[in-house]
Amino acid sequence: MKALLLVFTFCLANAALAQDAPFNRSKDLLLLQHDMGNDPDDLNAVAVEACMLQHPDYDDVDFYAVVGTRNLYSGHFGWIDECRALMAQLFGAKGPLWTDAETEAQWAASLDIVKGKVKTVLLNGGRVWVVEAGTSDFTRDWVNMLKNDAQVNNSLLTSHVVVVQHGFSNEKNTDPADLTFVQNNTDYYKIGEGKLDFDRSNTPKYLSTNTDFLPAAAAASNPNTYARDAFQALQTALAPHIPTTGNTTLANGGVDFTDTVEMWWILGMNTTTEGSVANVWDKFIVNDPDSSGGGGTDGEKVFQESEGLVIMEMESTQSPLGNWIKIEEGDTNYVSGATGGVHLEFGGNSQTGGPADSPLVYKFKVNQSGKYHLNMRARKRLAGGDPDWTNDCYVRMEGNFTSGSAHYDVNVLRVDTKLYGGNENNWGWALKLDSADAHRVPAIYQLVAGETYTFIVSGRSQRFNLDRIIFRYSTVDLNDLTGTRTTCVPIR
């Protein structure tokens, strides 16, 4: 009887792999719902999922994330602050791409957000695919809200809301009435848990006790800067809870993103290139975006403003470095405090300057129109030179904008113009232009929401070091810009 039961369970998982229709990227929504319960594997999973959604194979997937979707009666989860910090690193400020349902009020507010998004997709002929990485109580609530919405035909819920569950314990811990409701009122699938090899569960094994994966992802030498920053944030989030977690894999330095098998199944991911922990690391985590195309559409990163700030690491450029030298923590000329443990130093021309050389390209968008000040985190490595040497680069901008300053017109900002500043012994700010038409005045741009801008930095004086580029909205104080503030998330 025991053998028959095991075979029957296997067959159910096998049958669940047959989708009625594939994910339609032109009109479907991927809804990531993580309970963030007593097991911090959710933190590991969202970090991996975010990196997958940055890759050009999946960066056209429309998604929204909700964390804290555990049963309200189970109490608060123990790492809400760490979770919020990680989500902000992965997806930017709370609101546009994610929210949390930690308190009763936030639960209600999150339900309203999800109901609105799901309703819009359904009424436009799309499907909503739910990564049910936890119990189904939250899903029950928003499905019930839609059932009582006169504009939504109930048949759409059973045919176009696809709920994918991988955990038997998640089903067990869901209120029985809520689970039955969701199963009866959506297109509900139960798939393998992601803890066994393909030949035993027909889902990937996204679990490994190998202790090399996490350090490789968070290493300063990781060429995938988005993943590097994501996993450094993950390590920070996990650190306080590792000693007490019941997840022995994570406690011993391994990886556990078994929740992600639901996203793997929904998006029809490849069993060969995305079907193991090693596959995922090679393709999405430690890949070189310059060679593999990861990080944006057609290999191009476009950064998104968040809370009045566009923050781009210098090493995140996808341009050839030319005479720029990548310096990492531990290198001879490394400047302590560089965000991510990496910065660039210009090695061309002379200490006193020269023509624009080795242009580095960065693209970004802003969410609110207005004046933005340019600040570049800089250091001048004098090495015995004059205090006015090795302290500048060239900058220019392309796109739909005007000058935000009364001291010069837009033409100054459209051509290679000297920008200078920085400290001798530590990081400072380069924020003033210096040319015949703009003499020692701040660089200010009048930008338009939704437009894509191309910003180009070129080398001018040798040994000038740059850590990051910041465009700050006029209401953001320069004193609020610390070296550790989160880098903005690249979008497609």
- CA dist 141 and 339 (Å) reads 42
CA angle at 234 for the pair 230 and 237, rounded to the nearest 5°: 140
Residues with Cβ within 8 Å of 78's Cβ and at least 6 positions away in sequence, in order, are 38, 241
| Mean pLDDT of all residues in 358-368 | 91
Q: Which of 208, 249, 198 is nearest to 14 (CA)?
A: 198
Q: Tell me the per-residue pLDDT of 215-247, one tens digit each, with 9 for 90 and over.
A: 999 998 888 989 999 999 999 888 887 767 778
| Structure-derived torsion over alpha carbons of residues 185, 190, 193, 194, reported in degrees to the nearest 10 | -100
Backbone angles phi, psi at 13, to 5 degrees: -65, -40
* pLDDT, mean over the chain: 84
- CA dist 188 and 130 (Å) reads 9
Q: Tell me the per-residue pLDDT of 258-297, one tens digit each, with 9 for 90 and over.
A: 999 999 999 988 877 888 898 899 999 998 775 544 433 3
- Phi-psi category of 27—alpha, beta or left, where left has phi over 0 and alpha has psi -120 to 50? alpha
- CA dist 395 and 421 (Å) reads 13
| Mean pLDDT of all residues in 30-55 | 89
Asked whether 229 and 340 are in contact (CB, 8 A), the reply is yes
Residues with Cβ within 8 Å of 270's Cβ and at least 6 positions away in sequence, in order, are none
SS3 301: coil
Q: Are strands 392-398 and 417-421 parallel, antiparallel or unpaired?
A: antiparallel
- The pLDDT, as a whole number, for residue 38 is 65
Q: Does residue 420 carry a pLDDT above 50?
A: yes
Q: Does residue 387 carry a pLDDT above 80?
A: no
- The pLDDT, as a whole number, for residue 446 is 96
Residues with Cβ within 8 Å of 156's Cβ and at least 6 positions away in sequence, in order, are 122
Q: Are strands 428-434 and 439-442 parallel, antiparallel or unpaired?
A: antiparallel
Lowest mean pLDDT among 138-147, 347-356, 368-377: 347-356
Q: Does residue 170 carry a pLDDT above 50?
A: yes
Q: Are strands 207-208 and 255-256 parallel, antiparallel or unpaired?
A: antiparallel
To which H or E segment does residue 188 belong? Answer: strand 187-190
Q: Tell me the per-residue pLDDT of 107-136, one tens digit each, with 9 for 90 and over.
A: 899 999 999 999 999 999 999 999 998 888
Q: What is the token pair recorded at 338?
A: 């560089």
| Mean pLDDT of all residues in 382-390 | 75
Q: Does residue 104 carry a pLDDT above 60?
A: yes
Whole-structure pTM value: 0.60
| Mean pLDDT of all residues in 310-328 | 88
In the chain, the domains with their CATH numbers are 2-291 (3.90.245), 301-491 (2.60.120.260)
- Other residues' Cβ atoms within 10 Å of the Cβ of residue 87: 26
Q: Does residue 152 carry a pLDDT above 60?
A: yes
Q: Are strands 402-403 and 444-447 parallel, antiparallel or unpaired?
A: antiparallel
